[in-house]
Structure 1
Amino acid sequence: MKMTTATVALCFASGGVLAQDATLTIESWRAEDQAIWDDVLIPAFEASHPGIQVDFAPTAPTEYNAALNARLDGGTAGDLIVCRPFDGSLALYQRGHLADISDLDGLDNFPDFAKAAWQTDDASASFCVPMASVIHGFIYNADAFAELGIEEPGTVEEFFAVLDTIQQDGTYTPLAIGSADQWEAATMAYTNIGPTYWNGEEGRQALIDGSAKFTDPQYVRPFEVMERWADYMGRAFQAQGYTDSQNLFTLGRAAIYPTGSWEIGGFNDQAFFEMGAFPPPVEAEGDTCYISDHTDIGIGMNTATDNPEAARAFLEWIASAEFAQLYTNALPGFFSLSNAQFEVEDPLAQEMISWREECESTIRVAHQILSRGEPNTWNNMWTVSANVFNDAATPAEAAAALQQGLEAWYEPQQN
């Protein structure tokens, strides 16, 4: 049968590859997801796309950026690139390594805030399909709560009352978080509770356009709340790293773990007790709830792929409701950013994703635009947040350091 170009295009759009077989290789930093791709996701795609085979070939997270850049520059990178959000992937697009997929079927299934993580600043080009976000909040030992007769707090003062009860009982460390690795202080504390005070996207955009400063009260206030956390973080928290905090919680020695949904899969395997979760408490009952629903993972097409049609077919499948459901349930705590409606099977994951219905969503405050210069605002946030925990800086001093660093290079803040 003689096939026209239009016929071939139609076959690809409908999910079939008739002209020739193709093998696609996926670059990723998430080696821990190998079984999920091999056993769940790839078989589902290949079943509906005969002729396309897919190979998931991850690199260790600490080596991913350097190794991927070397392979891209050398022309040996895979067909599909799992994308970190914002500036790192934007740089790959600007260097010509990620294709413009603005016209991809299914991209309209995602809200604007999700697509923004993988678009140019003016949103004129999209270069990765959003795959998943992670939601920040607090995971707790439900058995410990029942034992102590305490309930999920809704307000900040209820939160500290719960911590006081746990502290006075003495069986559990109230908060499983340390400051040794610094990034937890920024990720699990400041950008976890901060949106409550700067009103989520409103406050994030205000920093970007220069109409607000880190020294304004709404950005200082989270540091003031964090300063109070230190009394509940246990002995020698200054020497406590990320894995120490994980172990403290999963071994049943801590009651509350400030964190994000990315921990759910591991905690399900390790914890011997029932778990629950609650969103960042509000200042007063009736206040709007805000969550950091952080755009975390996308996937794009290598412009140098030898299989562009097959790669686009795969990206269209990533944008589908089928993938959204499979991925969210195969990897609890990594939530599809699609508008698709489906049942989330893991109860803890269902609890956290339900917050999207009752809270306003935003992303980590320093991840878009604000960390392009030096000093890097996000890295600076690690340091100053840990300093607040360690009593090495006051909340006002921490905020002033963030502002001084941003003003050093970011023009909208230089006024």
Structure 2
Amino acid sequence: MKKRIALLIIASIVLSLASFVVAEEVTLTMGSWRNEDAEPVQQMLDKYKEISGVSIRFEPTRNTEYNANLRLQLEAGTGPDLFYSRSYTVGRKLYEDGYAMDVTDIPGVMENFDDTARHAWTAYDGKVFAVPFAAVNHVVYYDKDAFAKYDLEVPTSFEELLVVCETLKENGETPFANGLAENWDILECVFCGMVPNYIGGFENRELYESGERKLNDEYFLRALSDFEKLTKYFPEGFQSVANADGPMLLGLGRAVMFIDGSWRSGAWDVDFPDFNWGAFAIPAPEGNAQAICHHSDMAITGNNATKYPEEVKAFLEWLASPEGAQIVTDCLPKGFFPMISSDVKLADEKTAGLKALSDEAIRDSRFMWNTLFELYTPLVDNLNGIANGTITVEDAADALTKLQEEIVAK
């Protein structure tokens, strides 16, 4: 009898150990468009494993290929358990098509993020389809030593910015390192970085989305006009300058300013450790309130087809907690800002400075990201035309307005 009891106890222990081993062997996968963040993100996921015992393998894809590849994977049933969700239209479509989880009821999502943070990942049915992860600012990087050399101050208006550009040009400098070769950045970084200074915050953007305001009104027309003025200070042969060329031109002293995103900031210390850089918000024209493109950039959601829904939801709950958010923030690449409402500390001084640029300004995401995404390519084409002098600002605005009316009418 005693022998039988002993055997039963041993068997019970073995079974318990077996189930523990099974739990330990759970490995989730995470898709992302940020392949350059593999090391810091994996550090974050390793810290989560220490807490939960669940491994998560980071499997990023090239940024320009992510949307198409992720959809193909999800449609084929081979998608990752967790994946980065684009804000607004692209992410919302994956939810509407049944691929992205409804995370509304996951603890922390409604309590720890305000309406502004959740807005970019809220579907038309009111459900939240991803946990907000990180935001970025669109800024002007500048060479502090060059500004000091010519006794220049950081401009506080667009008009002052043009004076700075003219002074630099007169002294043989290239004011801006931006170009047109890749197209996406001239729209997303430069023009979308400018737009909130001309139309205001998201309340006014929504007037364009509804059609109440037109893209040839005085506000949008002025944004296009000032964009045209700015392109006069791009490098010679700017049509062939790619986004990756900009940091090189700036870091090597061949240009003085570069409009890009805060996500770029961590690369300066690696690629150009001696470069003395600063950053300022793209200034508003005189008479307008200072605004900034503070873009809701990244969120993480779960795959509805995952084999491990409980483990996926547990990770998302951790992500939505103040404790998880602090660990995430400590591991985020420089230039990315947490979106949680709790008091999260940014250890990197320059990242904190970049975030501070949006603390007192009117904030909004990229102009067409919500419901006007069909304007993406037409905007790129018209901005190229304006920069190259093949189309007038007025004609571009009229053409965009016609497309806007078609989109709103659908």
Q: TM-score, normalised by structure 1?
A: 0.88
Alignment of 1:151-230 (within 5 A): 151-170=153-172, 172-230=173-231
Q: Quick one: distance in 1 between partners of 2:316 and 2:115?
A: 18
Q: Output the amino acid matched with 1:365.
A: F
1:326 offset after TM fit, Å? Answer: 3.7
Look up the match of 2:358.
356
CA distance in 1, matches of 2:192, 2:358: 17
Amino acid in the other structure paired with 1:42? L
The 2-side partners of 1:346 and 1:174 are apart by: 28
Q: 2:392 aligns with which of 391, 394, 400?
A: 394
Deviation track 1:346-404 (CA, whole Å, cap 9, x = no partner) reads: 33322220123210110111010112xxxx20121111112111111222122112111
1:18 Cα deviation from its structure 2 partner: 11
Q: Distance in 2 between matches of 1:231 and 1:151?
A: 21
Task: Confirm or deny: 8 A CA contact 1:275 1:348 kept in the other structure.
Answer: no
Cα drift, residue 19 of structure 1? 9.1
For residues 275 and 369 of structure 1, do their structure 2 counterparts lie closer, same or farther at Cα, with a shift above 3 Å needed? same
For 1:188 and 1:79, the matched residues in 2 are separated by: 31
CA separation of 1:238/1:61 partners in 2, compared to 1, >3 Å: closer, same or farther?
Answer: closer
- After superposition, residues 129-140 of structure 1 pair within 5 angstroms as 129-140=131-142
What SS does the aligned partner of 1:356 have? Answer: coil
Structure 2 match to 1:114: 117
Would the aligned equivalents of 2:178 and 2:243 in 1 still touch at CA under 8 Å? yes
Corresponding residue for residue 6 of structure 2: none
What is the match of residue 376 of structure 2?
Answer: 378
Structure 2 CA distance for aligned equivalents of residues 326 and 165 of structure 1: 45
> For 1:125-177, what per-residue CA distance to the aligned partner results, in whole angstroms no more than 9, with x for missing partners?
1111111111112111111111221111001121111112211221x310111
| 1:288 aligned onto 2:289 | yes
Once residues 73 and 320 of structure 1 are traced to their aligned partners in structure 2, the CA distance between those partners, rounded to angstroms, is: 31
Q: How does 1:233-382 map to 2 (within 5 A)?
A: 233-271=234-272, 272-284=274-286, 287-329=288-330, 330-371=332-373, 376-382=374-380
Does structure 1 residue 48 correspond to structure 2 residue 61? no
- Is contact 2:34–2:63 with CA below 8 Å preserved after alignment? yes
Matched residue, 2:8: none
Letter in 1 for 2:390: A
CA distance in 1, matches of 2:225, 2:80: 46
What number of residue pairs does the alignment pair up?
387
Equivalent position amino acid for 1:350 in 2:
A
Q: Which has the larger radius of gyration?
A: 2
CA contact (8 A) 1:166 1:173 kept: yes
Could you tell me how far apart the structure 2 residues matched to 1:186 and 1:203 are? 19
Q: Distance in 2 between matches of 1:357 and 1:70?
A: 39
How far 1:299 moved relative to its partner? 0.7
Structure 1 145/326 Cα, relative in aligned 2: closer, same or farther at 3 Å?
farther
Structure 1 counterpart SS, 2:399? helix
- Contact 2:85–2:298, Cα closer than 8 Å, also in 1: yes
Cα deviation for residue 26 of structure 1 reads 0.8
After TM superposition, give the deviation of residue 322 of structure 1 in Å: 3.5
Percent identity between the two aligned chains: 32
DSSP-derived class of the 1:118 partner: coil
Q: CA–CA distance in 2 between the matches of 1:59 and 1:352?
A: 27
What is the DSSP-based 3-state SS (H/G/I as helix, E as strand, rest coil) of the residue aligned with 1:357? coil
- CA distance in 2 between partners of 1:59 and 1:230 (Å): 32
1:166, 1:249 → 2: CA distance? 14
| Contact 1:93 1:99 (C-alpha < 8 Å) held by counterparts | yes
Q: Which amino acid aligns with 1:391?
A: G
Q: Which structure 1 residue ranges, 5 or more long, are not aligned? A: 1-16
Q: Conserved in 1, the CA contact under 8 Å of 2:103 and 2:128?
A: yes
Distance 2:215 2:204 in 1: 10
Residue identity opposite 1:120 in structure 2: A
Relative to structure 1, the CA distance from residue 210 to residue 408 in structure 2 (aligned partners, 3 Å threshold; closer, same or farther) is: closer
Instruction: Report the 3-state secondary structure (helix = DSSP H, G, I; strand = E; otherwise coil) of the residue aligned with 1:282.
Output: coil
Tell whether the 8 Å contact from 2:117 to 2:339 is kept in structure 1 after alignment.
yes
Contact 1:182 1:385 survives alignment (8 Å): no
**Alpha carbons 2:268, 2:275 under 8 Å: kept:** no
TM-score of the two chains, using structure 2 as the length reference: 0.89
Instruction: Report the more deviating stretch, 182-191 or 93-102.
Output: 182-191
Counterpart Cα distance in 1 of 2:195 and 2:247:
22
Amino acid at match of 1:52: V
SS of aligned partner of 2:140: strand
Pairwise CA distance, 1:28: 1.5
Closer, same or farther in 2 for the Cα pair 1:75/1:246, shift >3 Å?
Answer: same
**Partners of 1:156 and 1:284 within 8 A in 2:** yes
- Name the SS for the 2:120 alignment partner: helix
